[in-house]
Structure 1
Amino acid sequence: MQTLNDILVLIDSYIGSAGWFPYALLGTGLFFTLYLGFPQIRYFGHALRIVTGKYDKDGDQGDATHFQALATALSGTVGTGNIGGVALAIHLGGPGALFWMLITAFLGMTTKFVEVTLSHKYREKDETGRIAGGPMYYMKNAEFKMFGKKFHLGWLGGIFAFATILSSFGTGNLPQINQIASSIFASFGLAQWITGAVLAVILALVILGGIKRIVQVTEKLVPGMAIIYFLGALAVIFTNYENIIPSFISIFEDVLTGSAAAGGFLGANFAFAFNRGVNRGLFSNEAGQGSAPIAHAAAKAHEPVSEGMVAILEPFIDTIIICTLTGLVLLSSGAWKDKIHNQFEYTELDILTSRFDETKPEDRKKLYDYLVNDKKMTKYTGDLEIKEGEIISDVTLVHSRSFADNVEVLGANGNPYTGTLHVKDGDVIDPDRSIAFWGESLVHSAPLTAEAFRRSFLGKYGEYIVTFGLLLFAFSTAISWSYYGDRATTFLFGSEYIVFYRILYIVGFFLASFADTTIIWTLSGITIALMTLPNLLGILLLSKEMKTTVKEYWEDFKAGFPDDRNSKRKN
């Protein structure tokens, strides 16, 4: 598993985690924000009126209302990114990473406006009569001019559709159930595979009913789960009210320099905080990834721009509101920088030669350079001697990017272990994972958010809010992403292959419930990037058409959409 994770990390280093990727994502959003005149601000009020159905017309084609499409798209984005993703971003990049998540969301409001509008404009009906849309359809049907010639992007649509199928597992499936199962195990001790099996059956019952059943479920889940999580987060923040202003300050004060060391957190430079903040911001709101346009394609609308405006609301709700709340919970509670007793994951465990002292600035600096600046550190190779759970060998354990304290090694029976374990290049060689390492270290993802929620007058009940909130958030995300993969499968292979995709999706959902968390997150980053890049290229090539489409929308809006001129334009 460690070898597999190392391979995935290497692949991710060239795409999603590469230095150029955040600039490509933010650059596209910034370009359209300026090119279209800040539509996320100018059209925000109009978007609210559209989603209430104020401008709906009888006979509008589609399978869902504006609100149902928004709820389905939100259920695809409001998931582990809001609970676990924010915690991971702050764990890696410090408070400054949250700032870059918010910038990603602000610019992403425009990116979503563009991608949803173009997707809705070129949607089709499949052979079964269902609406089919998404970036692959505008890539297939739209034309753009270059050097005086017309070009189609059909080949890019095929790449995007294939990446969507991969990302339906890497974004909407595997990390969602993995976080659900891990959180339930931490709260109630229920084995991960049991949680996976039960939810896999429920998932099958929902997604086999198609888009109509999916929107019926998501329109009820999304508002309810958002309210519960919102109230729980406020409870934590106001319990730690004296830290509210310092928390806000910490988000902005180290934006350009990176975050300083605090507690067990060793610090992060600007590049690290920027990259992780943008990366996790994309995972949270998916602006530019091209997923939401697939959900919005099903909406009943006579003008594509109107549905694009509805999409403006998604990053605002998902990231600017919900992720900011989660960030304030983590920062005001102080949980993000405190070491917590937990079971160590093998893929996040490094065993270094000789003993380092965390109280010595020079030793903390060496580990900082290793974790943040990628400087080499001598890793231990040899036999690790353990007596009654205590490590006798002269080594230092690093877990979850922090010095590990009060480490205890337990055997398969749960009792203190005595014996030797072979270590190679800092990794424990234990294929069966029968030996467990417990101790105090930083934690991240959902366990970190759960710890923060406990630090309020809610106590243990705060953890339950995270557990059940994550259950609802993540499960609804898995439901929505099954539909995205469904549409991509139809585009590439035809609707007769949907059933095979759904079976694989359900099986993968179950298996990921007890897979390694670190590998799941690394795979997620890769699939997100593979889906995002062709979509960004596509909308940039169609920028002129987008501007013309928006201009025509306002002309028709003022004229009351006479004779449904938009449909005539498309034909």
Structure 2
Amino acid sequence: MEKMIAQINGIVNNFVWGIPMLVLLVGTGILMTVLTKVFQVSHIGYWMKHTFGSIFTDKHITKHTGAEDKSISQFQSLCTALAATIGTGNIVGVASALIFGGPGAIFWMWIVAFFGMMTNYSENVLGIYFRRKNSKGEWSGGAMYYLRDGLGAKKHMKYVGSVLAVLFSVFCLLASFGIGNMSQINSIAGNMQGAFGIPKLATGIVLMVLAGLVIIGGIKRIASVSEKLVPFMAIIYILGALGICIINGKQVGAAFTAIFKGAFQMKAVGGGIVGSGLKLALTWGMKRGVFSNEAGLGSSVMVHSSSNVKEPVRQGMWGIFEVFADTIVVCTLTALAVLTSGLVDLNTGAVLSSSEGSALVGEAFGTVFGQAGPAFIAIAILLFAFSTVLGWSHYGTKAFEYLFSEKWTIVYRVIFIVFILCGATMNLELAWDLSDTFNGLMAIPNLIGVLVLSPIVMKITKNYVDRRIKHQDIDPMLSAFPEIQAEQARGLDESD
């Protein structure tokens, strides 16, 4: 039975993460880039100022909402989204891309990220525009809502939109237990045992208790922890990777040369048929890029929609920064740390170490920091993967809420917490493969929604640019629902 499930999953997985789906993912990003007039480049100064720059200059961005307000701040929404995206993919995923796709795979990760910025932007714009408040006063948004209320509002598309919304929620719910929980915990437990000799059961119990204290508290507690944990772990990791790049500074230029050269290399490392090198670099770079930043999967929009922001475009810009920080910054630094460490032949692209996954990155850090290198990576994976669990617990909660109502979300949270212990102690090879498939399946209904509703994204973007940048006196586009539009329009100012 297990063998048959694995075979069926293998077929589905090859389709979900195959070239056609990757083309669809990147193609959607290209379309949204064109429709928004290359917003990520043409307005780069503007969105950087109103995202990363505003963290230090605008208290409204980081200010916590009151107890009566169930939304979270824009900075908290970013940190919770990054908690879910900055994970093992930034370490293990990059290492896998280098091993199987060569240095050129990093170039294609950049390409995926460049266009993925606008896919994530579009998801968040639609998420804010079609979000609603539940009976608890919390914002509920995500692909399921713009599929049901956006796509479903099109002529003869009501049932199609509703079915796709349910499918997305089911895929998200299943993925949350796998790729958002057990696989992450399993990576932590394995690394803790390997690096420090801590039994997997002990790691599982501690993480179950810690996660339980956070997750039971709901989105506001998750966001409160994420806004402290994510900046800390990201800064520490970035400084460590930068330290390696600075010490091995003479190799940085050669590393970039290897990346660009390998991106278009016709033969695979060690020979092979003509064209196989380019195919491997492109495929692995795109797969790991999407796996890392999740642009197009429709996942992070569920937490971005919980923000106290009023302008859809403003939250969309945080989506651009999310992909930029995850892939362009963190993944690139991981790749450079490995490439400049002497573990890769920069002329041929061949990996000279027998280490795989996180062990390869740990070995790279070890060339500079000695025995502390692998321990540093083990702790980084602990923080990255644990934060991913916190972020995905919210995604699963929102999917569960859509399917069964918010009254029963406590049931999901308790089950999710129990599965943490299972993840630490079980052999999860099949579970990982299944969850990887469900994770990818989320993209299909989500991308259908984004593509069909792309004209709305274009109109909302133009409306924002005309009002905020060109200072035209026109009415804002804040919500698809008149009552929410009127409520959000009241007191709208530059900080919203």
User: Shorter chain as normaliser: what TM range?
Assistant: 0.7 to 0.9
Provide the residue aligned with 1:189 in structure 2: 197
Provide the residue aligned with 2:13 in structure 1: 12
Asked if the contact 1:116/1:307 (under 8 Å) is kept, the reply is yes
Amino acid at match of 1:9: G
How many residues align? The count is 465
Asked if the contact 1:92/1:268 (under 8 Å) is kept, the reply is no
SS of 1:566's equivalent in the other structure is coil
Provide the residue aligned with 1:535 in structure 2: 446
CA distance in 2, matches of 1:543, 1:270: 31
CA distance in 1, matches of 2:314, 2:200: 43
Asked if the contact 1:89/1:280 (under 8 Å) is kept, the reply is yes
SS of 1:140's equivalent in the other structure is helix
Asked if the contact 1:72/1:215 (under 8 Å) is kept, the reply is yes
Provide the residue aligned with 2:34 in structure 1: 34
**Bigger Rg, which one:** 1
CA distance in 2, matches of 1:212, 1:188: 33
Instruction: Return the offset for 1:258.
Output: 5.3
CA distance in 2, matches of 1:448, 1:306: 39
Query: Is the alpha carbon distance of 1:555 and 1:238 closer, same or farther for their aligned partners in structure 2, counting shifts above 3 Å?
Result: closer
CA distance in 1, matches of 2:246, 2:146: 47
Provide the residue aligned with 1:47 in structure 2: 47
Among 332, 341, 347, the alignment partner of 1:333 is: 341
Higher mean Cα deviation, 213-222 or 525-534? 525-534
SS of 1:483's equivalent in the other structure is helix
Instruction: Return the offset for 1:3.
Output: 6.9
CA distance in 2, matches of 1:12, 1:318: 24
Amino acid at match of 2:245: I
Amino acid at match of 1:462: G
Whether 1:235 aligns to 2:243 is: yes
Instruction: Return the offset for 1:454.
Output: 0.8
For residues 371-410 of structure 1, what are the alpha-carbon distances to aligned partners after superposition, in whole Å with 9 as ceiling and x for unaligned?
Answer: xxxxxxxxxxxxxxxxxxxxxxxxxxxxxx99xxxxxxxx
Higher mean Cα deviation, 305-314 or 329-338? 329-338
CA distance in 2, matches of 1:5, 1:143: 34
Query: What is the 5 A alignment of 1:389-400?
Result: none
Query: Is the alpha carbon distance of 1:202 and 1:258 closer, same or farther for their aligned partners in structure 2, counting shifts above 3 Å?
Result: farther
SS of 1:289's equivalent in the other structure is coil
Provide the residue aligned with 1:351 in structure 2: none
Whether 1:93 aligns to 2:94 is: no
Provide the residue aligned with 1:151 in structure 2: 157
SS of 2:194's equivalent in the other structure is helix
CA distance in 1, matches of 2:181, 2:305: 21
CA distance in 2, matches of 1:524, 1:104: 22
CA distance in 2, matches of 1:484, 1:94: 33
Query: What is the 5 A alignment of 1:98-109?
Result: 98-109=106-117
Provide the residue aligned with 1:76 in structure 2: 84
Provide the residue aligned with 1:453 in structure 2: 365
Among 298, 310, 314, the alignment partner of 1:290 is: 298
For residues 493-532 of structure 1, what are the alpha-carbon distances to aligned partners after superposition, in whole Å with 9 as ceiling and x for unaligned?
Answer: 1112212211221222222223446545433431221111
Q: Percent identity?
A: 37
CA distance in 1, matches of 2:448, 2:91: 30
Whether 1:277 aligns to 2:281 is: no
Instruction: Return the offset for 1:240.
Output: 3.0
Please report the TM-score for the alignment, with normalisation by the length of structure 2: 0.86
Relative to its length, the structure with more helix (as a share) is: 2
Query: Is the alpha carbon distance of 1:114 and 1:567 closer, same or farther for their aligned partners in structure 2, counting shifts above 3 Å?
Result: closer
Asked if the contact 1:144/1:541 (under 8 Å) is kept, the reply is no
Please report the TM-score for the alignment, with normalisation by the length of structure 1: 0.75
Query: What is the 5 A alignment of 1:115-514?
Result: 115-143=123-151, 149=155, 151-152=157-158, 153-257=161-265, 260-261=268-269, 269-335=277-343, 442-456=354-368, 458-514=369-425
Provide the residue aligned with 1:544 in structure 2: 455
Give structure 1 regions of 4+ aligned residues with deviation exceeding 4 angstroms: 1-7, 53-62, 143-146, 558-565
Higher mean Cα deviation, 38-47 or 137-146? 137-146
CA distance in 1, matches of 2:70, 2:135: 15
Instruction: Return the offset for 1:196.
Output: 1.6
RMSD over aligned Cα atoms: 3.0
5+ long unaligned stretches in structure 2: 483-496
SS of 2:263's equivalent in the other structure is coil
For residues 249-290 of structure 1, what are the alpha-carbon distances to aligned partners after superposition, in whole Å with 9 as ceiling and x for unaligned?
Answer: 111112133564369xxx963223222211111111011111
